[in-house]
Structure 1
Amino acid sequence: MPSTPQRRRIARRLTAAAAVLAAAVGVTATALPAGASSDPARHPGRTVDVQLLSFNDFHGNLQPPQGSSGTVEEIQPDGSKKTVEAGGVEYLAQSLRTARKGHPYSVTAAAGDMVGASPLLSGLFHDEPTIEAMNKLGLDVTSVGNHEFDEGRKELTRLQNGGCHPKDGCYEDGRKFRGADFPYLTANVTDDRTGKPLLKPYSVWQRNGVKIGFIGVTLEGTPDIVNAEGIKGLKFHDEVETINKYARELDKQGVKSIVALIHEGGLPASTSYNYNCDSPGPGWGSPRSSGAETGGGISGPITEIAKNVTSRVDALVTGHTHQAYACTIPDPSGTPRTVTSAASYGKLYTDTTLTYDRRTKDIVRTSVHAPRGVNHVVNRTQPKAADMTSLIAHWNKLAAPVANRPVGRISADIAGRGANAPESPLGDVIADAQLETTKPDGKGGAQLALMNPGGIRSDLAFKASGEEGDGVVTYGEAFTVQPFTNMMNVVDLTGAQLITGLQQQVSGPNAASPKILQVSEGLTYTLDMTKTGADRVVKDSIRLNGAAIDPAKTYRVAMNEFLAGGGDGFPVFKDGGNKYVGPSDLDAFTGYLAAHSSADSPLNPPKADRITVVK
């Protein structure tokens, strides 16, 4: 209906009344800089504060993640550290809605991996439940991540545009999946044939004359960490070059305020979410809060990206490493610029204030007024968002016949994703399961098994969030640990190739951030972290069932198809010969749990003593 002077007057009165009501119930708006209006919709001043709420790597975790996957570490005022349970979309939605109160200019963005490697509640339905949840909680825009390509380009396009799954169809009669209300941005992912981005390269958020452009990219190395079938016909380009290209394009269109959503990240010097990674000194700023650890900054790929992305970009929202940080890193001109990441699984969200100048149409970025991001815990002590509770209940009802089937028993928590050591107890269980499944003659004849750590997505919690009872492992919980359902492969590798594979854990693409393979029973070796690169693997220590690995001998090695294809920076495994294809890794895992546990004799956590670490 067209606007009229009378309608606008009514709207202004309603806005004013809402402001009075908010004040009465104790809702306080963020203070605005000099020249700005407390009600910018009515009296726009020179500047206005735009609230940027962001998160990353949600991975379909609609329900609170179990075990250590669902906790964050918090530094207390006295310097001690506290573990806080966090996450779950009921609490994430509530946190974001609470944060938006009093902020007439608020935009919510994400940095990829909203789906993929998801627990069964979302994964069983090809992540349609997660897209519905993101629509409801008000996500405005996101970049893609590598996991958005787990099921291929056509499935990503379906998640964006809607429609029933091509094989499984619609999950309810008369109910068609409508797709994402928000744009997925793929600026650096192009079609081989056309050379054009797979989906939109950027999006412009607008409100009352305020315009902010968002450019979305995933890591250039995506082909190295996803199955080749999922990215067939696509090219992944340099993050910095792509962002700079589209920043120029937005600038020419008059969009001067720009945020880059980058599915690539860094490694902070502390595991605490409220750690201050801004070291005192030139270009880094100063500590922001008393009682917090200071110094150290972050390392990893995002640091070089941040230093080289054009100054036209005002803030970087990042992800992929599942770490928490809120830093300032100087842009190419030396001006401070915020770089943030909100861990993973919806355990945190970042609140960044962008001061928008209406005259220049740009974000104010000076040493005094640089945008600052702060991470907040999505705690589970707050009320749940009722619409998310209903959404979870709806999909849980559909999933229940599959999800609630018991597959085993455990005597205590078995740490996997959250384990601090290179070797995890759950990693040992999974490797043993893969070896046992593929060891018999005629089923691969495997002598050892290797498991990539990134494929272990959660712990097994003794007391899980469901109602099945303590110690019972359901199919849904097992699926959460192993959601990819990769097929098991057994290949011939020489001893020399096996040694090279172990060295590739800590060299080449994995030198800066090692990916330590989980190994089956009987394989032992020493990892000397005081050394560098491939030398960290002590070759003379590598033994199978007590015997030294013979470089000239051939061994039958079991691993999932992703690892056998050279994924995660292990190109030597692609050279394996005499391939045998077995059951899925999930079937191997659930079969092992069933065979090795019962109500009277639950599975105990293994000692995780196969890899000796020298620090």
Structure 2
Amino acid sequence: MPATPQPHHRRRRRTTRLLAAAAGLATVGALAAALPSTASADDSRKGGDRPGRYQDVQLLSFNDLHGNLEPPSGSSGRVTEVHEDGTTETINAGGVEYLATHLRQAREGNKYSITAAGGDMVGASPLISGLFHDEPTIEALNKLELDVTSVGNHEFDEGARELARLQNGGCHPTDGCYTDEEFAGADFPYLAANVLDEKTGRPILKPYWVWKKKDVKVGFIGVTLEDTPGVVSAEGVKGLKFKDEVETINKYAKVLQRQGVKSIVALIHEGGAPASSAYNYDCDAPGAGDGISGPIVDIAKNITPQVDALVTGHTHAAYVCTINDPAGKPRMVTSAASFGRLYTDTTLTYDRFTGDIARTAVKSANHVVTRDVPKAPDMTELISKWNTLAAPIGNRAIGYISADIPSTGTESPMGDLIADAQLAYAKELDPETDLALMNPGGVRAGLTYAAKGSEGDGVVTYAEGFTVQPFSNTVNLQDFTGAQLIQILKEQVSGSNEAAPKILQPSAGLTYTLDLTKSGADRVVTDSIRLNGAAIDPAATYRVATNSFLAGGGDGIPTLGQGTNDLVGADDLAVLEQYLTANSSATDPISPPAANRITIVS
């Protein structure tokens, strides 16, 4: 069962912090009504400390870091900028050595500055962090002076007990301590307002937190997406209930209001899709229409007007948009892509008379974490320390590739390669195995021919493989009828996957047509489904290999959880390593799959 974190007393870097436990804050009266009524917005300077009515508060935010301490490689380490003339530019971005420098520079001259995050700080992390259960990332976030974050779905990859350890500190229960010093835990609070212990009905972590400096107070409520159980293994969310995001935020907004906290920011690990992939796309520009779509739109439209801004995440998209609240008033909604490539700088203008944010004065923009600034020495030291510990494992060669194997696209070469590896392994366990299916969300990166720091010789290291498949899932075998197999393919694009399909990556031999001009399950053309050239027989039995996440009905594909004759195999990364080692060499590297098993009609 999940552990309820015990009170954890630790040092605090700033005197501006005030922890607001659910029942711990005394009711605060109205802010000083005696401030002169002649005060105006000009009474405060940016970041200054003025006694007038209005005070600018800087909110720096980012999301979905996923333990990317080093600059991410390939497309994961680039952002697109659109220029006024419509041309675009690709910029290399990311890496905590640079993120630290950018954040520290952004804070200069801003006495009222808060740094917040929108979840998925850890999980699906590269080897330098994932190998050590993300302790290095928590240390880096402490150095970044992160003030507060919501949980994301990946914070539950290793379950609630491990999340509690990341918050409170202590050595790993099985691996022990990695260094001479016991892991201290996070200096910042993780907020999990909508994640409840099934037994107690209470949040497993603090639901909200209040930042305070002098007479300025800003409350933060943190939630993750309600559908977290659909994107995390059953073991990771065992004993937990995930409540509706809007209902939860509205509940705690009332709690904060009763305590005299009128300025409120929601940290929501759920997001949307902007109409452009450019990080500086203006979704509020005239003629932009619906500049953003996806789950965050309905969430934003229904969250109480008492909440003044939304910091979001999960979709790894970049946007700074306004979406009207239930009262029809525009409200800022932001997301800073992923992997530390961007940060958002928002100015919240605090009204001392009302204690609320003057929303008409809120300004926000995303900024690139460029790599043309000095590296933060403390981050360089941290990365060096953990790389030294990881090097004996991470630098080991496990295979060779002839070119980049990307992970992008409806069907990706990397996804197909993993499915092929799992099919080959499954046939060793059971020669009757027919096919393998890989979930797209489990393919966390591609393989690059010229990996960072290499001489471009196509060597695949264990560290690179770990970045591709960091979840420690097992490869499982199950029996399905042909009718069930057809249903599985239809569930990729229907039900909870109607709006955002989760296209399974197929092993060689499985082919079909996906007609994106249609809707729902009809997008899978049933008559086109073939296995090794033969039509699927609804009454026949097929042996299918998947990872353990899918075998539990993950990714909103419930029929995958109805297989029979289960057989649990080895760790999926070990399976990929075995396949690369057996099928590639320095003189005969493996080539990227053609990614032509699914015919797309659009």
TM-score surpassing 0.5?
A: yes
Match of 1:240 in 2: 246
Displacement of 1:470 in angstroms is 2.7
Match of 2:376 in 1: 385
1:73 matched to 2:80: yes
Match of 1:205 in 2: 211
Q: 1:328 aligns with which of 300, 319, 322?
A: 322
Match of 2:35 in 1: none
Task: Flag structure 1 segments of 5+ consecutive residues without an equivalent.
Answer: 1-31, 282-293
Q: Is the 8 A contact 2:47 2:113 kept in 1?
A: no
Displacement of 1:77 in angstroms is 2.5
Letter of the structure 2 residue corresponding to residue 340 of structure 1: T
Q: 2:500 aligns with which of 513, 520, 528?
A: 513
Q: 2:276 aligns with which of 265, 270, 279?
A: 270
Using the alignment, how far apart are the partners of 2:262 and 2:485 within structure 1?
Answer: 52
Displacement of 1:388 in angstroms is 0.5
Q: Secondary structure at the match of 2:511?
A: strand
Q: 1:543 aligns with which of 530, 533, 554?
A: 530
Q: 1:407 aligns with which of 391, 398, 408?
A: 398
Using the alignment, how far apart are the partners of 2:588 and 2:116 within structure 1?
Answer: 47
Letter of the structure 2 residue corresponding to residue 496 of structure 1: A
Q: 1:347 aligns with which of 318, 341, 364?
A: 341
TM-score scaled by length of structure 2? 0.92
Q: Is the 8 A contact 1:328 1:338 kept in 2?
A: yes
Displacement of 1:296 in angstroms is 3.4
Q: Secondary structure at the match of 1:121?
A: helix
1:220 matched to 2:207: no
1:558 matched to 2:553: no
Using the alignment, how far apart are the partners of 1:93 and 1:38 within structure 2?
Answer: 21
Displacement of 1:35 in angstroms is 2.1
Deviations 1:405-435 (A, max 9, x none): 000111111101xx1x211111111110000
RMSD: 1.3
Match of 1:250 in 2: 256
Q: Secondary structure at the match of 2:388?
A: helix
1:260 matched to 2:266: yes
Letter of the structure 2 residue corresponding to residue 179 of structure 1: G
Displacement of 1:80 in angstroms is 1.2
Using the alignment, how far apart are the partners of 1:445 and 1:73 within structure 2?
Answer: 46
Q: Is the 8 A contact 2:57 2:349 kept in 1?
A: yes
Q: 2:351 aligns with which of 334, 342, 357?
A: 357
Displacement of 1:163 in angstroms is 0.4
Using the alignment, how far apart are the partners of 1:182 and 1:206 within structure 2?
Answer: 14
Q: Is the 8 A contact 1:145 1:219 kept in 2?
A: yes
Match of 1:5 in 2: none
Letter of the structure 2 residue corresponding to residue 138 of structure 1: E
Match of 1:20 in 2: none
> What are the residue-to-residue correspondences of 1:72-471 with 2, within 5 Å?
72-173=79-180, 175-280=181-286, 294-366=288-360, 369=361, 371-416=362-407, 419=408, 421-440=409-428, 442-443=429-430, 445-467=432-454, 469-471=456-458
Using the alignment, how far apart are the partners of 1:39 and 1:311 within structure 2?
Answer: 25
Deviations 1:199-222 (A, max 9, x none): 100000011211000000001111
Displacement of 1:584 in angstroms is 1.1
Choose 229-238 or 148-157, whichever is displaced more: 229-238
Q: Secondary structure at the match of 1:435?
A: helix
Match of 1:35 in 2: 43
Deviations 1:467-512 (A, max 9, x none): 4753111000000000001000010011111111111111111110
Q: Secondary structure at the match of 1:431?
A: helix
Q: Secondary structure at the match of 1:599?
A: coil
Using the alignment, how far apart are the partners of 2:584 and 2:304 within structure 1?
Answer: 56
Letter of the structure 2 residue corresponding to residue 357 of structure 1: D
Match of 1:483 in 2: 470
Using the alignment, how far apart are the partners of 1:563 and 1:373 within structure 2?
Answer: 39
Displacement of 1:38 in angstroms is 6.0
1:46 matched to 2:53: yes
Q: Is the 8 A contact 1:68 1:459 kept in 2?
A: no
TM-score scaled by length of structure 1? 0.90
Q: Secondary structure at the match of 1:205?
A: strand
Q: Is the 8 A contact 2:46 2:110 kept in 1?
A: no
Q: Is the 8 A contact 1:276 1:295 kept in 2?
A: no
Q: Is the 8 A contact 2:47 2:110 kept in 1?
A: no
Letter of the structure 2 residue corresponding to residue 298 of structure 1: I
> What are the residue-to-residue correspondences of 1:55-70 with 2, within 5 Å?
55-70=62-77
Using the alignment, how far apart are the partners of 2:575 and 2:47 within structure 1?
Answer: 60
Using the alignment, how far apart are the partners of 2:435 and 2:81 within structure 1?
Answer: 40
Q: Is the 8 A contact 1:256 1:361 kept in 2?
A: yes
Choose 208-217 or 79-88, whichever is displaced more: 79-88
Q: Is the 8 A contact 1:444 1:582 kept in 2?
A: no
Q: Is the 8 A contact 2:47 2:57 kept in 1?
A: no
Match of 1:570 in 2: 557
Using the alignment, how far apart are the partners of 2:587 and 2:144 within structure 1?
Answer: 44
Using the alignment, how far apart are the partners of 1:127 and 1:37 within structure 2?
Answer: 39
Q: Is the 8 A contact 2:47 2:56 kept in 1?
A: no
Q: Secondary structure at the match of 1:247?
A: helix
Task: Flag structure 2 segments of 5+ consecutive residues without an equivalent.
Answer: 1-39
Q: Is the 8 A contact 1:66 1:459 kept in 2?
A: no
Q: Secondary structure at the match of 1:589?
A: helix
Displacement of 1:376 in angstroms is 0.8
Assess, with a 3 A threshold, how the Cα gap between structure 1 residues 361 and 129 changes in structure 2: closer, same or farther.
same
1:493 matched to 2:480: yes
Letter of the structure 1 residue corresponding to residue 535 of structure 2: A
Q: Is the 8 A contact 1:37 1:44 kept in 2?
A: no
Q: Secondary structure at the match of 2:359?
A: coil
Using the alignment, how far apart are the partners of 2:460 and 2:117 within structure 1?
Answer: 32
Q: Is the 8 A contact 1:93 1:385 kept in 2?
A: yes
